[in-house]
Structure formats: structure tokens, C-alpha cells
């Protein structure tokens, strides 16, 4: 069942909940997944995003999200020039990802100020809702509704148990968990979604596990 | 007491059980659902009301065009006429329509709005609510109560049908918004929960079958002006219900009918811009000009 503010809301910068607000949320999620301030971005837009992005201000919304702005931030309208002033280099391209891709899909190739690179694919699924479907080649499903811990680690026995053990010690209840990998024994990715906030020191503890290459905390959007 | 509802009928029963208006049922539902303090929920809704008001004020004053050049300045035109002695429709209807235009023009120009239920239909509820509020001399508390009633109606529609143009056509967006607004105004004007139900049913019935056919895929034509009609339409539905006119088909059945009609609509009339107004010669010309990076008109 929807909540009151799913109907009277979100408070947003127009014109479109999917092509503007959703695009901004998608992009802010991509920034969070990168884990640092982006320095440059190449954005590929597919489907309806590709056809109508200028008229809906999708490009401005994506720039706003990369700058960390919320969907109701009045600076969204000027986000492209603000990004340019801040030295954030953004290139927009259109792409055809085929009929199976959601019509409002964007591919983010991001490079952070500290040098981390990430490729993130996601879609704006309507009403401002989003779904991240791929991170660095891993299939994921991330909607930004939950407190999320992401770990990229060496694919070997016991790593997941170590991570979940840390959560258990802190009484964090896992709502959903998804593990994927590119090939057996190489690198794997785990996404753990929790009902309640995951404290910062859990992230520190997860990062101290030797096999964990990267751990990120993603608060709900 | 557990407050939960999926239908308008259940909302009415709950209102009768606690002997309170529908807005109170919705507020209590949200407090239970979100496990948040009702005061915090109330404050959030007050913030939404402020955003709506600000959008109306901005939009009425504004005369510049949207990025495409297709909309802008009409709220300003209509409010002037509505406030003049030449006004035909009565000041309130004209104002409701002008306020709705204002909000949608702000939306089209990348200003701040409250999607209610969607961005494409964001003018109907604030337009009708604020114009009616002036006649009723409603304070903020009454307007906020109206917004909760509207939210409850929208939740039931979202649950049993849809509020997305891509699924149900424009009836799901502007139709739902008009139903929400009609119900909200009816409660604000002192109508009973049953009259709220009749008002929303009347409003929704008259927008059944409305298709979503946006020119060039933009939330501009015909969306902006449909919001103006929707706001005036909601006022009339409330007026009818308050006069004691009943909807022969109960609200919940109208909502199901709306969903069934949505399912029967071809894809071309559900926000794809592949049919209806979006495929008229003028619309195709506009689309071509915009794609070539030229102004639409």
C-alpha cells in the first residue's frame, strides 16, 4: 500500500517525475555508489530518455544528481552551468540498449576526484522511483528505499559470513540480500539491504576484512 | 485501533467507527504505516501546502515561456480575466483554473511543485483546493486536512487502478487528481464522508477514457490546460455532491471501471506519443522542430 506522501509528493523540480525527478535520483544514487565526488562523467541515455531528454531537462537533472542535489533543489535548473563552474565535466550521448532495456535507462561512466572509476546502469521506473540494475558489470537490483551496504570482495568461502556477522553483532536486521559475481573465484559483489540505519563503524569493520576490496554505505534516497 | 483501508467504502466505515472525518482516517493510517509522529506527518503536509502556494504565486506572475516555447503566460492571462467584471464562469472556477495553469506552467519551466498524484497532473489539486479555500475562508489546518483526504483517495486509486499515464492514460493522472480534489473540497466545505465519496465518483466518472497523448513527449501540450479544466471540473463535482446529488455507481466501482478502461486503451494512447493529439500534423511539426534543436513554435 502506498503512503500519503507517495500520492501528495514528491516535492520536486518539474517537469516530469520520471524524466526529471527520477533522473536526478538515479544520478545521485550513481554518485553515492561511486563513493566520492565525481570529476568527470559520460552519460549514455537510452529510449525515451534519449528521445526527450532536452525537453524534460533530464540532462540538467542528471548533472544535479552528480552534484549531490536533491530532487526539490531549485538549483537543478542551472545544474549544467554549476557543474561546469565546479569543473565537473559531463558528456551526454544517446545509445540504443535494445528492446529489453527499460525505456528510461541511463548508463553512467563516472570518474571520481580520487580516481575511482565506476560504471553504473539504472532506470527511472516512474513516479520518481528508480532501479539500479548494474554496478561495474555486476547484476544488481537497488531501489534506494533501504539502508544498503555494498561490498565488492574476493569470491571465496566465508567472506559473506564475516560481513553478515558484523551486522548481526550490531543487531542490524537484513531485509534483503543479493550476491553476484562475474566468474567463480574472482571478484564478487554483495548487496545487503536493512530496515534500519547501518552505523558507520560497521562500514569500517567491513573494510577491514582482508578480502573486501570496496565497501560502501548507501542511505535511502 | 488498527487503521487500514483498500477501498473508499472501508475509509467510510473507519470514519464512522471513529466518528471523525476521512482526513483523520488518512492521518492515522499514515502514522501507523510509517511509525512516525502524527505531528511530523502534519508538518510534512504543511510543507507540501507551502510549496503548492508558492507555485501558484510564481506561476500567476510569470509571463515567460517554457524551454520548448509551447507553454507559459496563460495563468497570467486567465487570472486577469477571472478577476475582471467580464468573467463568465464565476470568479472561483476561473481562479481554480488559473491557479492550476500557474502550477503546471511552473512545472514545465523547471520550477518546484508537488506531484499530486503526478507532475503532469500537479495543478488540479492545488488549483481547486486553494480557490475553494478562499471562498470557504479556510485556514491552513483546514487546507491540510483537505490534502490528507485527497491523499487517501489517491491511495485507494493507486491500489485498485493506477495513477500512471503510461498504464491508465490521462484519466489515471488528471482523472485521479480531479477525484482527489473534489473529495478534498467536499470535506472542507462540511460535506459528509458519503458526500466526499459521491464527489470523487462524479469527478472521476466524467474523465473516464481520457487518453495520454503528450505532444513531443513533453509534459506541456495538452497536459497544462487539461489541469485547468480538471480544477474547475473538481469544483463542480464537489458542488453537485454538496447539493445532495449522488453517484449511481459507487466510487469503488468507478475506480475499477477506470482501471478496466485503462487496460483496454491501446499502447499508443498511454504516454507513448504514438497516437491522439501527439500524431496530429501540428504535433509532428513541433516534434520535428524540437528534435532539430529549434523552438517549437
pLDDT of residue A129: 86
- Quick one: how far is CA B265 from the chain centroid? 21
Q: Is the pLDDT of residue A27 over 90?
A: yes
- Quick check: A12 and B115 CB within 8 A? yes
State what percent of residues in chain A have pLDDT above 70. Answer: 100
The mean predicted confidence, pLDDT, of chain A is 93
Is pLDDT of B213 > 90?
yes
Interface check for A77 against chain B (CB to CB < 8 A): the answer is yes
pLDDT in the model for residue B241 = 98
Q: Give, in order, the Cα–Cα distances in Å from B140 to each of B37, B47, B59, B188, B197.
A: 19, 11, 21, 11, 23
Which burial class, exposed, middle or buried, applies to A19 when counting CB atoms under 10 A from its CB (0-12, 13-18, 19+)? buried
CA distance B132 to B78: 17
Q: What is the pLDDT of residues B218-249, one digit of tens each?
A: 999 999 999 999 999 999 999 999 999 999 99
Q: Which of residues 44-73 of B touch A (CB under 8 A)?
A: 44-45, 47-48, 51, 66-68
Q: Taking every pair of C-alpha atoms in chain A, what is the biggest distance, in angstroms?
A: 50
Per-residue pLDDT, A48: 86
Is the N-terminal amide bond of A10 cis, ω within 30° of 0? yes
Which of A1, A5, A8, A54 best probes binding to B when mutated, by most B CB atoms within 10 angstroms? A8
Are the beta carbons of B110 and A72 separated by less than 8 Å?
A: no
Tell whether the model's pLDDT for residue A1 goes beyond 80: no
- Which comes out higher in pLDDT, residue B53 or A186? B53
Helix runs in B35-139, H state only: 38-61, 74-82, 91-108, 124-136
- pLDDT tens per residue across span B20-44: 999 999 999 999 999 999 999 999 9
Residue with the bigger pLDDT between B297 and B16: it is B16
- Cα separation, A77 vs A49, in Å, equals 17
What's the mean pLDDT when you consider all of chain B? 96
8 A C-beta contact, residue B254 and residue B205 = yes
CATH of B8-291, one of 1.20.120, 1.10.4100, 1.10.8, 2.40.330: 1.10.4100
Average pLDDT over residues B121-144: 98
Asked whether the beta carbons of A151 and A206 are under 8 A apart, the reply is: yes
Q: Supply the pLDDT for residue B293.
A: 83
pLDDT, tens only, A204-217: 999 999 999 989 99
Largest CA distance in chain B: 60
CATH node for A4-136: 3.30.1330.90
Q: Reading across the β-sheet that carries A147-154, which strands appear in turn? A: A174-181, A187-194, A147-154, A212-218
* Residue A103 Cα, gap to closest chain B Cα (Å): 10
Distance between CA atoms of B270 and B226, rounded to whole angstroms?
Answer: 16
CA nearest neighbour of A33 among A93, A95, A121, A124: A121
How sure is the predictor about A128, in pLDDT bands with cuts at 50, 70 and 90? confident
Domain range summary for chain B, segments of one domain joined by +: 8-291
pLDDT exceeds 90 at position B76: yes
Give Cα separations from A75 to A57, A70, B184 (angstroms): 12, 9, 32
Q: What is the rounded distance in angstroms from the CA atom of residue B238 to the CA atom of residue B195?
A: 8
Asked if A121 and A42 count as a contact pair (C-beta separation under 8 A), the reply is: no
B chain contacts of residue A126, beta-carbon cutoff 8 Å: 164, 166
Taking the domains of chain A in order of start, what are their residue ranges?
4-136, 147-218
The three cell numbers of residue B137 are 475562508
- Nearest chain B residue (CA) to A5: B151
Does B154 contact A13 at a Cβ distance shorter than 8 Å?
no
Least Cα separation, residue B295 to chain A (angstroms): 11
Find which of A14, A56, A99 to mutate to test the B interface (most B CBs within 10 Å of its CB): A14
Q: Could you tell me which residues are beta bridge partners of residue A153?
A: A188, A212
Determine the pLDDT at residue B31.
Answer: 97
Chain B residues whose beta carbon lies within 8 Å of the beta carbon of residue A195: none
Mutation target to probe the A interface, by most A beta carbons within 10 A, among B47, B58, B113 is B113
Average pLDDT over residues A130-158: 92
Number of helices followed by number of strands (H, E) in chain B: 14, 1
User: What is the band of B258 on the pLDDT scale with cuts at 50, 70, 90?
Assistant: very high
Residue B29: name the closest of B130, B148, B132 by CA: B148
CATH code: domain A147-218 is 3.30.70.260
- Average pLDDT (A191-209) is 92
Distance, in Å, from the CA atom of B196 to the CA atom of B188, rounded to the nearest integer, reads: 10
Least confident of A55-59, A85-89, B256-260: A55-59
pLDDT score, position B246: 98
Distance from CA of A210 to the nearest CA of B (A): 39
CB of A72 within 8 Å of a chain B CB? The answer is yes
Q: Report the predicted TM-score, pTM, of the whole model to 2 decimal places.
A: 0.90
| Complex confidence, ipTM | 0.96
Q: Are B12 and B32 in contact (CB under 8 A)?
A: no
Partners of B6 on chain A (C-beta within 8 Å) are 1
Q: B74 to chain A, minimum CA–CA distance in Å?
A: 17
pLDDT at site A103: 86
Choose among A129, B200, B56, B227: nearest CA to B48.
Answer: B56
| A2:B219 CB<8 A | no
Contact assignment for B6 to A1 by CB distance below 8 Å: yes
A99 touches chain B (CB under 8 A): no
The pLDDT value given to residue B64: 85
The band of A54, judged by pLDDT with boundaries at 50, 70 and 90, is: confident
Look at chain A and count its residues. 221
The shortest CB-CB distance from B151 to any of A4, A51, A127 is to A4
Instruction: Inform me whether the C-beta atom of residue B155 falls under 8 Å from chain A C-beta atoms.
Output: yes
Spatial separation of the C-alpha atoms in residues A99 and A47, rounded to whole Å = 9
Query: Closest chain A residue to B51 measured between Cα atoms?
Result: A11
Length of chain B counted residue by residue: 297
Question: Which of B70, B150, B130, B132 shows the shortest CA–CA distance to B105?
Answer: B70
What pLDDT was estimated at residue A185?
A: 82
Q: What pLDDT score was predicted for residue A39?
A: 98
Amino acid at each position: 500500500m502506498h503512503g500519503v506522501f507517495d500520492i501528495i509528493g514528491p516535492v520536486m523540480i518539474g517537469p516530469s517525475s520520471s524524466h526529471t525527478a527520477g533522473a536526478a535520483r538515479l544520478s545521485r544514487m550513481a554518485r553515492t555508489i561511486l563513493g566520492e565526488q565525481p570529476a568527470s562523467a559520460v552519460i549514455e541515455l537510452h529510449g525515451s530518455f534519449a528521445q526527450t531528454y532536452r525537453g524534460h531537462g533530464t540532462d540538467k537533472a542528471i548533472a544535479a544528481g552528480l552534484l549531490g542535489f536533491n530532487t526539490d533543489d531549485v538549483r537543478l535548473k542551472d545544474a549544467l552551468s554549476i557543474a561546469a563552474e565546479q569543473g565537473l565535466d559531463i558528456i551526454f550521448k544517446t545509445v540504443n540498449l535494445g528492446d529489453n532495456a527499460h525505456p528510461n535507462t541511463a548508463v553512467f561512466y563516472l570518474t571520481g576526484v580520487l580516481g575511482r572509476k565506476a560504471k553504473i546502469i539504472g532506470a527511472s521506473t516512474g513516479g520518481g522511483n528508480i532501479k539500479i540494475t548494474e554496478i561495474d558489470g555486476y547484476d544488481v537490483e537497488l531501489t534506494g528505499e533501504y539502508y544498503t551496504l555494498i561490498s565488492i570482495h574476493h569470491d571465496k568461502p566465508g567472506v559473506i559470513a564475516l560481513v553478515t556477522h558484523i551486522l548481526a553483532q550490531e543487531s542490524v536486521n537484513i531485509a534483503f540480500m543479493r550476491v553476484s559475481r562475474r566468474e567463480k573465484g574472482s571478484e564478487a559483489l554483495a548487496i545487503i539491504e536493512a530496515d534500519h540505519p547501518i552505523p558507520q563503524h560497521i562500514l569500517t569493520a567491513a573494510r577491514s576484512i582482508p578480502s573486501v576490496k570496496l565497501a560502501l554505505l548507501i542511505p535511502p534516497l | 485501533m488498527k487503521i487500514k483501508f483498500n477501498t473508499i467504502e472501508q475509509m467510510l466505515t473507519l470514519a464512522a467507527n471513529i466518528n471523525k472525518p476521512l482526513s483523520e482516517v488518512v492521518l492515522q493510517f499514515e502514522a501507523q504505516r510509517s511509525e512516525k509522529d502524527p505531528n511530523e506527518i502534519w508538518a510534512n503536509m504543511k510543507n507540501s501546502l507551502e510549496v503548492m502556494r508558492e507555485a501558484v504565486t510564481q506561476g500567476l506572475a510569470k509571463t515567460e515561456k517554457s524551454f520548448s516555447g509551447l507553454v507559459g503566460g496563460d495563468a497570467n492571462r486567465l487570472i486577469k480575466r477571472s478577476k475582471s467584471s467580464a468573467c463568465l464562469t464565476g470568479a472561483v472556477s476561473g481562479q481554480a483554473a488559473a491557479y492550476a495553469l500557474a502550477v503546471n506552467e511552473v512545472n514545465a519551466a523547471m520550477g518546484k511543485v508537488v506531484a499530486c498524484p503526478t507532475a503532469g497532473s500537479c495543478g488540479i489539486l492545488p488549483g481547486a483546493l486553494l480557490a475553494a479555500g478562499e471562498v470557504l475562508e479556510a485556514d491552513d489546518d483546514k487546507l491540510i486536512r483537505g490534502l490528507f483526504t485527497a491523499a487517501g483517495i489517491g491511495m485507494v486509486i493507486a491500489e485498485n487502478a493506477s495513477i500512471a499515464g503510461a498504464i491508465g492514460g490521462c484519466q489515471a493522472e488528471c482523472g485521479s487528481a480531479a477525484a482527489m480534489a473534489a473529495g478534498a473540497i467536499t470535506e472542507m466545505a462540511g460535506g459528509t464522508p458519503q458526500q466526499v465519496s459521491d464527489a470523487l465518483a462524479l469527478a472521476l466518472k466524467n474523465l473516464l477514457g481520457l487518453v495520454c497523448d503528450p505532444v513531443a513527449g513533453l509534459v506541456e501540450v495538452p497536459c497544462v490546460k487539461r489541469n485547468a479544466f480538471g480544477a474547475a471540473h473538481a469544483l463542480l463535482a464537489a458542488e453537485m455532491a454538496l447539493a445532495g446529488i449522488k453517484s449511481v455507481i459507487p466510487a469503488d466501482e468507478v475506480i475499477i471501471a477506470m482501471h478496466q478502461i485503462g487496460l483496454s486503451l491501446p499502447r499508443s494512447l498511454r504516454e507513448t506519443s504514438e497516437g491522439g493529439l501527439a500524431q496530429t500534423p501540428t504535433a509532428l511539426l513541433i516534434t520535428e522542430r524540437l528534435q532539430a534543436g529549434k523552438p517549437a513554435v
